[in-house]
Amino acid sequence: MASDSWALAVDQQEAAVKSISNLQIKEERVKSDTNGVIKTNATAEKTDEEEKEDRAAQSLLNKLIRSNLVDNTNQVEVLQRDPKSPLYSVKSFEELRLKPQLLQGVYAMGFNRPSKIQENALPMMLAEPPQNLIAQSQSGTGKTAAFVLAMLSRVEPAERYPQCLCLSPTYELALQTGKVIEQMGKFHPELKLAYAVRGNKLERGQKISEHIVIGTPGTVLDWCAKLKNCQMLLFSATFEDSVWKFAQKVVPDPNIIKLKREEETLDTIKQYYVLCSNRDEKFQALCNLYGAITIAQAMIFCHTRKTASWLAAELSREGHQVALLSGEMMVEQRAAVIERFREGKEKVLVTTNVCARGIDVEQVSVVINFDLPVDKDGNPDNETYLHRIGRTGRFGKRGLAVNMVDSKHSMNILNRIQEHFNKKIERLDTDDLDEIEKIAN
């Protein structure tokens, strides 16, 4: 991979960068003859009673999601590497003086005005000479479009070698970001994109002629011997302390955009918990909620692959059509499942932390933590919590997050998450159908 200059974008970097520095891979591939989608009974004619339940469910959902949209007065900390240089922020894409094909691509995607993070980050990313950036912005606020725009503005399509590298923590996110690159770059017909993901091997001595390489850590390391003369752009919704220190160590002389702690959560996402005493009760509570969560689309997170496949099978047995996605499946299946979910062919996706970060499916209005996110020591995983609930409430939309609590221990975890973000998570009782009716009306 010979090149004179580089742009490197790292998305959700706490995961991607950490895995680069800690690559101990023990892969067990599990064979499966399903494509990850579990289907059951085709929907029969609905009875009056079912129609009534549907209306109650819709009403409940509206009630739960309803909240005042807060204005966008973000408390952001912006640090420039050269404090004396003036601080630019742009209010329109025209001000950036992009190549016409690129501006056309931006508008074709339906963006009219830059989002908050784009206003601040774009001038820094496009500055000459190139400057590095470490940037934080809430989930669903346009980080991907920001760094994709920066990458595309640096690409010289006439030159046939890789000029940008984009690193993602998971296969699905790499595919998703690749799609954004293709959409925004569609008026550069010569532009080529290569995926450095599991299964795509580079033959010895094989030259890469694509302009942009996007991939996951292991394969990307395999492809690249070294990176030099490289502008680095790191984006994430969260920067846990140790990651923050690490980011500053590996990115020389960066500009910085950082959120204050109290600004990390989105008030547009209403958070609840459901109190149960064991897994079976959680399952029952989930079934009670099912009508409400399938009004639009929902993602259900489990702690392990095993729980996820168990839950998907149980829901399926109850007659619900759900999709299952976890890292034990083969990549072809994973691509097919996420594609079907995007198209709305399944309304519910049961998954693991593989889908916690970055996945952007606009129709997802509910996130359910069937298991609360905990780290390897059993402590609350606040970052993952924020990423998971951030699968809803994207780009200013409202969203609902429901946490299933099944013990004193998990209640304690939830309380600690609540304290960490200083954000009230309210009790929701799904066992009491009367009460649900009351909330719904």
Partner DNA sequence: AAAAAAT
C-beta closer to DNA: residue 164 or 289: 164
Nearest distance in Å: CB 389, DNA: 17
Distance between alpha carbon 175 and the CA centroid of its chain, in Å?
Answer: 12
Nearest distance in Å: CB 429, DNA: 29
Cβ 148 vs Cβ 242: under 8 Å: no
Q: Is 79 helix (H, G, I), strand (E, B) or coil?
A: strand
Nearest distance in Å: CB 402, DNA: 20
Nearest distance in Å: CB 164, DNA: 18
Cβ-count burial of 177 within 10 angstroms (0-12 exposed, 13-18 middle, 19+ buried)?
Answer: buried
Nearest distance in Å: CB 190, DNA: 27
What's the order of all strands across the beta sheet hosting 193-196?
76-79, 255-259, 133-136, 230-236, 6-11, 164-167, 212-215, 193-196
Nearest distance in Å: CB 328, DNA: 6
Q: Is 270 helix (H, G, I), strand (E, B) or coil?
A: strand
402 bridge partner residues: 272, 368
C-beta closer to DNA: residue 275 or 350: 350
> For binding to DNA (CB under 7 A), which residues are involved?
15, 19, 22-27, 169-171, 197-201, 215-222, 303-306, 326-328, 352-354, 375-376, 381
| Sign, Cα dihedral of 350, 385, 257, 269 | positive
C-beta closer to DNA: residue 24 or 229: 24
Report how far residue 323's alpha carbon sits from residue 338's, in angstroms, rounded to the nearest whole number. Answer: 9
C-beta closer to DNA: residue 335 or 440: 335
Cβ 352 vs Cβ 301: under 8 Å: yes
C-beta closer to DNA: residue 121 or 234: 234
* Ordered alpha helix ranges (H), 164-239: 171-184, 217-223
Nearest distance in Å: CB 192, DNA: 20
C-beta closer to DNA: residue 297 or 351: 351
**Which residue's entry shows tokens 């479009």?**
145
Torsion-angle region of 168 (φ positive above 0: left; ψ -120 to 50: alpha; else: beta): beta
C-beta closer to DNA: residue 206 or 422: 206
